[in-house]
Amino acid sequence: MVWVYIGTLDDPEIATIEDHYGVESQLSWVHFDDGLPRARCDEDSELVGALAAAQADAE
């Protein structure tokens, strides 16, 4: 998986959004009504495990 911020693209209109990820950080006044799936980072066991392993390696 590669993460690219859409604002860094020369033409962000060519990007297709498939889901909303990290919704636990969504601002209270931002509302999406597009029917796309929503996911929390803290409920992604693979991500949580990778972050825990990286933190353990750093200590």
3-state DSSP assignment of residue 20: strand
Domain layout of the chain by residue ranges: 6-23+33-58
Q: Write the DSSP symbol of residue 10.
A: S
Q: Which residue has the tokens 């209270």?
A: 28
Of 4, 8, 37, 3, the C-alpha closest to 20 is: 37
Alpha-carbon dihedral sign for residues 6, 20, 46, 57 = positive
pTM for this prediction: 0.60
Of 40, 4, 3, 1, the C-alpha closest to 20 is: 40
Tell me the per-residue pLDDT of 17-52, one tens digit each, with 9 for 90 and over.
888 888 999 999 988 899 999 999 889 998 889 889
